[in-house]
A and B are shown apart, each in its own frame.
Chain A
Amino acid sequence: MAGATTTLRPAVGAMRKPVIGEGSLIRWVLIVTSLGFLALFLFLPLAAVFTEALRKGVGEYLSSFNDPAAIAAIKLTLLVTAVSLPLNLVFGLAAAWAIAKFEFRGKHLLITLIDLPFAVSPVISGLIYVLLYGAHGWLGPWLIEHDIQIIFAAPGIILATIFVTFPFVAREVIPLMQEQGTEEEQAAMTLGAGGWQTFFRVTLPNVKWAVLYGVILCNARAMGEFGAVSVVSGHIRGKTNTMPLHVEILYNEYNFVAAFAVASLLALLALITLGLKSLVEWRSRVSLALTEYVEPTLLEQDKS
């Protein structure tokens, strides 16, 4: 069942209602508890962001975005995302393809490495880049000699973002590809298709919803990443501040309206991501129902 391959998506089987004989009291306690929890930790803060942002009226709210520093932060965030997303899409697909369709030495190591950014604190990943590319880092002298600036500039922020977000696409696609096996690709080859034709006509369409899902998550994280970016950015106002960093600076300057205004953009992004995510989940379930193989013997009775 493809739905069960990632822990984030509800399994297809889970839609069947099991008989568990719990009384309605327990059911209500569970529902109220989880709703209360969500209200306290999710809805309330979200509402607070928008309330604070609009506290002094819509005019003040909108004027926050007229600030050149805010515009620069938004632009930088978009740039970082625009660069890191395609790179991670290509990397994720390549890694997933290699892991799911081929047997090679070191495969398990590769799978483990893909999970590394989830395991390491983002601050540490940022520090590693400073250690590598910073003025006193391993490659620092060489970079200075060639007048290339990575740390405290956009390239460093992009590198850190790529590192933090690269598991997303691969993690979504690998289980699905592994489950689908290689028979369809073999069939395509016997029918005369070349490698790229096989990839674009058979492999990719079979995983397109998982890819899209991974891209959405990757995008959300790329725009919202704070820790790793904070270390490599240097917080140069109007130059190396991304949106999350800009929010922090404004907040520290007691400029609450502007801080929450920019934060509200990020919150909005989160809401859009959630919406898209549900849409993709729904679409992929529909297409799954259409394309999933049912055991043939179950269908024999209704031969037409």
Chain B
Amino acid sequence: MSIEVRNVTKHFGGFRALDHVNLNVPTGKLVALLGPSGSGKTTLLRIIAGLERADDTSADGEYGSILFHDEDVASLPVRQRRVGFVFQHYALFRHMTVFDNVAFGLRVRPRKHRPIRRQIAERVQELLRLVQLDGLAQRYPSQLSGGQRQRVALARALAVQPKVLLLDEPFGALDAKVRKELRTWLRRLHDEIHLTSVFVTHDQDEALEVADEIVVMNQGHIEQVGTPDNVFHHPATEFVMRFLGDVNAFHGRVNEGTVQFGSLELPFPENRRQIAGDARVFVRPYDVTIDTKTNGLPALESTVERVHSAGPLVRVELLTCAGQRLVSEVSQERFATMGLEPGSRVYVRPRHIRVFAG
């Protein structure tokens, strides 16, 4: 079941949470809405679910709508939309056992659509097996760990056979280790059941690792939509570049196939966005190479300020002659051969740059 968001705007008082948002979620995909807090990602998710209503902009001659498989559901109340919604803080019914929580959606159906008791029990057991919680059916939510609670919430949402699955910061309340386990597990689960799913996150690693497609949001609009590879390696905007990882930023100038920044002038042939004049130049820390001797190539002369070597990569903080700070990440092996320490004079060269109009 595909999801289509057309021209949706939402204000909370004077705050514009969403500004004419359009989005297409293809059938069977797992899509991440990624952005900082206040970017509108949760609002968008709740509007898709029907927990929030988009502004009525018809007076301006515009019609915002939500379509599930080409059927407009914008006027349907939440309980008729058949969405599975997983809340950040689980929202399990605290006075019910795990079994009763999962069975809830089946028990509240109108009598003629309600499965008989034995069918409900079978379905619940099947779902608890799916989320690897069989054996805990008689526990109360308070007797479960955070990760287990989130899986109960997922089983409960799946019990009603939703058309789409929506997850609001599903791992936000968990500690780092459980988070990692659970997101790998969620990806595997999705590959098993192939339900069109949208999840909200502010954690770029989570989005890059789990999603088929990432929607990067900022201040109520969508910055870029693409595969994790695409958004990571080909960020469309400065915001996406900054949000998806650490960056070194420089002021520069683009001039007929070259870009100048600091004392460097590098070739810049693939000027697809037709940038001219002032520009912002970005380099990821792992794209900054360090040499102890000059090798003739253009480089920035710098001094090592600080070294953090605990981790898979060594993080070196540098200060160029021109007074610009930048960060480089080099492998442990390379670091060992160079023998860097605070005060060392080095030659720094960006291996790969991104240029945006500025």
B94 touches A302 (CB 8 A): no
Closest to B77 in A: A189
Q: Jot down 23 A-B pairs with beta carbons below 8 A, ordered by A.
A: A183-B87, A184-B93, A186-B91, A187-B87, A187-B156, A190-B50, A190-B79, A190-B81, A190-B83, A191-B105, A192-B79, A193-B79, A194-B108, A201-B108, A205-B95, A206-B94, A290-B140, A291-B94, A294-B142, A296-B147, A296-B149, A299-B146, A300-B178
Bin the interface of chain B by size: 35 or more
Q: A291-B142, A292-B142, A293-B142 are in contact. Are A187 and B175 (CB under 8 A)?
A: no
Binding site for B on A (CB under 8 A): 183-184, 186-194, 197, 201-202, 205-206, 287, 289-294, 296-297, 299-300, 302-304
Asked whether any CB of chain A lies closer than 8 Å to the CB of B51, the reply is: yes
B157 touches A184 (CB 8 A): no
Asked whether any CB of chain A lies closer than 8 Å to the CB of B237, the reply is: no
Binding site for A on B (CB under 8 A): 49-51, 77-85, 87, 89, 91-95, 104-105, 108-109, 136, 140-149, 153, 156-157, 159-160, 173-175, 177-178
Q: For A191, what are the chain B residues with a Cβ–Cβ distance below 8 Å?
A: 79, 104-105, 108, 156-157, 159-160
Task: Say how far B103's CB is from chain A's closest CB, in angstroms.
Answer: 10
Name the residue among A186, A189, A303 with the largest chain B CB count within 10 angstroms.
A189
B145 touches A189 (CB 8 A): no
Q: For B157, what are the chain A residues with a Cβ–Cβ distance below 8 Å?
A: 190-191
Q: For A184, what are the chain B residues with a Cβ–Cβ distance below 8 Å?
A: 91-94
Q: Which of A190, A194, A297 contacts B85 (CB 8 A)?
A: A190
Closest to A180 in B: B94
Q: A197-B108, A300-B175 are in contact. Are A186 and B51 (CB under 8 A)?
A: yes
B78 touches A190 (CB 8 A): yes
Q: A187-B91, A187-B93 are in contact. Are A291 and B85 (CB under 8 A)?
A: no
Q: For B94, what are the chain A residues with a Cβ–Cβ distance below 8 Å?
A: 184, 206, 291-293
Q: For B105, what are the chain A residues with a Cβ–Cβ distance below 8 Å?
A: 191-193
B49 touches A190 (CB 8 A): yes
Q: Roughly how many angstroms separate A188 CA and B93 CA in the complex, as a whole number?
A: 9
Closest to B174 in A: A296
